[in-house]
Amino acid sequence: MKKTLEFKAHDGEIEDIALGPDNKVGVMLLPGSLALQESGLRPLCCVRQVVTVGRDFQCCVWQQDQLVTGLRWHENLPGIPDKAYRYQACRDSGTFLGLGTVTGSVAIHIAFSLQRLYYVKEAHGIVVTDVAFVPESRPGRELLGGHEAALLSVAVDSRCKLHLLPTRRSLPVWLLLLLCAGLIVATILLLQLAFPGFL
């Protein structure tokens, strides 16, 4: 357990830590500092992503000890005071970030941009104590069905709830390339009609 990095992440206690897939183990230090230690399972490599939530009402995404981006309730939910909610737990699947709050709400964000894709206000009605993404193993894929991700949340109400993120609609790459080629051909034809002898 050799410490490789330590930095101040929050003012006050850290509620939860989620680490990107590598060989580090996160250790919460009071009040509000974070230490990363080598697990000894694999060769040392750079920390890809660390997500922390603290009692200072912040959720932060870190690259090493550098703050990449942060999330605050009052910036994403207009009209709600910044101290109305506090993040309680977080998990990072590499693509998505799952969050639970002390008021029982559950949210799923895109990890790199923190764009919110899913939100259920007071899904539990009381403190969410933990959240976890369903792994992308064979049984996990069966549970996902046609959904993009699945998040389990557990709260003080002794209930476990499954939150399914619907698959976002997207165009196939071949169709996008075909549309771009059609747009280029149409532009050239219009220029030829507007300016004879263009080609």
Q: Give pLDDT tens digits along the chain (199 positions).
A: 788 888 898 988 888 888 765 544 444 444 555 555 554 433 334 446 788 888 888 888 888 888 888 876 666 566 767 677 777 777 787 788 888 888 899 999 988 788 889 999 999 988 888 888 888 777 767 777 788 888 999 998 889 999 998 887 777 788 888 999 999 999 988 888 888 877 7
What is the spatial distance between Cα 4 and Cα 35, in angstroms, rounded to a whole number?
8
Q: Contact, 190 vs 199, CB < 8 A?
A: no
Q: What is the CATH topology of the domain spanning 14-32+42-165?
A: Methylamine Dehydrogenase; Chain H (2.130.10)
Return the domain boundaries, the chain.
14-32+42-165
DSSP structure string for 68-128:
EEEE-HHHHSTTS-TTS--EEEEEE-SSEEEEEETTS-EEEEETTT--EEEEETTSSSS-E
Q: Contact, 151 vs 165, CB < 8 A?
A: yes
Phi, psi for 30 (deg, rounded to 5): -95, 140
Q: Using the 8-state DSSP alphabet, how is residue 38 labeled?
A: E
Q: What is the CA radius of gyration of the chain?
A: 22
Q: Contact, 4 vs 43, CB < 8 A?
A: no
What is the spatial distance between Cα 97 and Cα 114, in angstroms, rounded to a whole number?
8
What's the pTM? 0.57
